[in-house]
Amino acid sequence: MPLKLRAELPPFEGVTEWVNGAVDPQQLQGKPILIHFWAVSCYMCKDGLPTLNEWRDKFGEQYGMSIIGVHMPRSEKDTDIEDVKKTIEQYELKHPIAIDNDHKVTDSFQNEYVPGYYLFDGNGQMRFYGAGEKALGMVEQRIHKILGPKE
């Protein structure tokens, strides 16, 4: 069962490797954050990656929102770090990505599914969780509802 609403943002401890820079908890304070769990073997995850790039730019500017990816392997094959890095490069992901081969971050979020989306407000409280095929469509409306009106 995932984190409960209003839960505090868990720490990013036990990351196997960071791609695009490690997350500094001090820099996250006061900012809304979208945490995205995904896996290289998940076609739905890959289908949503271009949308995350759009949100990174759009909502980063509009709300100061940060996006952090967490690669959560679903099989032994998914733990190939070079394969994960190739996918990150292929989809032009520029936000920080935690490769979580030991599921330390995954466990701290109590996450079980990919894709999985956790939206935290500027106070570091979880305000939305969604997973699976339909979650991507719900995330954007929640961002606007929680963070403010569309511009």
109-140: pLDDT as tens digits: 999 999 999 999 999 999 999 998 889 889 98
User: Between these two residues, 65 and 3, which has the higher pLDDT value?
Assistant: 65
SS3 content of the chain, % helix, strand, coil (to 5): 40, 20, 40
pLDDT at 27: 84
pTM of the full structure: 0.94
Report how far residue 77's alpha carbon sits from residue 72's, in angstroms, rounded to the nearest whole number.
12
pLDDT digits (tens, 9 = 90+) for 34-58: 999 999 999 999 999 999 999 999 9
* CB of 69 closer than 8 Å to CB of 96: yes
Q: Is the pLDDT of residue 151 over 90?
A: no
The band of 13, judged by pLDDT with boundaries at 50, 70 and 90, is very high
Q: Name the packing angle between helices 43-63 and 135-147 (round to 10°).
A: 10
- pLDDT of res. 1: 58
Would you say residue 92 has pLDDT above 90? yes
